[in-house]
Amino acid sequence: MLIVIENLLTRNDVDAFRERLGQAEWVDGAQSAGSRSVAVKQNLQVERNCPVGVELGNTILRRLGDSPTFASAALAEKIWPPVFNLYQDGGHYGTHVDSALMRWPEANLTLRSDMSATIFLSDPDEYEGGELLVEGQYGAQAVKLAAGDMVLYPSSSLHQVTPVTSGQRICAILWLQSAVADTTRREMLFELDQSIQALSFGRTVDDPDIDRLIHVYHNLVRHWAVV
């Protein structure tokens, strides 16, 4: 399941990010690729310890903390700090799967990648190509969102970024470890939570039917979560 969160960043946020990223230190993205992925990865990314990247990444983390949809969809236990990347002049990232375990020694951080996210910082009309293709049960889905929007998808899925034939595609990416590792269970909880919120509209705060659904939801989380 792909989950789109619109307007995670406001237009003012996006404009400020683009201006600040012009002052960042960009390096060859292949430096962070695995032994197989390095052969299919062609992009630039902001150095992990670059102060600009750290500052903007922290802003994204705060926005995620304010998003009820993200909280419901991810049930995040750990989040790998956002990484900023840039594709241009045919830059692409061929079909790959994200590493299952990610280790950042400097921060003493290790996480299991359950979900991946792309936050778009370029509007679709700013570049040609550059679709995020995520393979799923019913084939590949192409994603190319407005600046400020984010898509969440299972880290276990094969995915790629198609070549950017003109313009620049600038994004932030991150990975997270969920309290509920199983993708199917996590998606069921998300659907249940979204249904509870929809059914709660117009009902009293002590509606017994809603209370029973909330009871089921939290007991499922309690049964499936590992923290």
pLDDT tens, residue by residue, 58-77: 999 999 999 999 999 999 99
Residues 103 and 34 in one domain: yes
CATH of the domain at 217: 4.10.860
pLDDT tens, residue by residue, 193-223: 999 999 999 899 899 999 999 999 999 999 9
Q: Does pTM surpass 0.85? A: yes
Tokens representing 150 are 């984010």
Residues 6+ apart with CB under 8 A from 39: 94
Q: Is residue 169 part of an annotated ligand binding site?
A: yes
- Find the angle CA(125)-CA(92)-CA(134) to the nearest 5 degrees: 80
Residues 159 and 199 in one domain: no
pLDDT tens, residue by residue, 145-201: 999 999 999 999 999 999 999 999 999 999 999 999 999 999 999 999 999 999 999
The total domain count for the chain is 2
Helix (H) or strand (E) holding 83: strand 76-87
Residues 46 and 152 in one domain: yes
Strands 92-96 and 41-42: antiparallel
Q: Which of 134, 117, 24, 53 is nearest to 79 (CA)?
A: 117
Tokens representing 184 are 């199917």
Strand partners, 186: none
Q: Which domain holds residue 51?
A: 3-178
Q: For residue 220, count CB atoms less than 10 angstroms from its CB and return exposed for 0-12, middle for 13-18, buried for 19 or more.
A: middle
Return d(Cα 38, Cα 42) in angstroms, integer. 8
Return d(Cα 129, Cα 168) in angstroms, integer. 10
Number of Cβ atoms within 10 Å of the Cβ of 97: 17
Q: Is residue 98 part of an annotated ligand binding site?
A: yes
Residues 166 and 210 in one domain: no
Residues 131 and 19 in one domain: yes
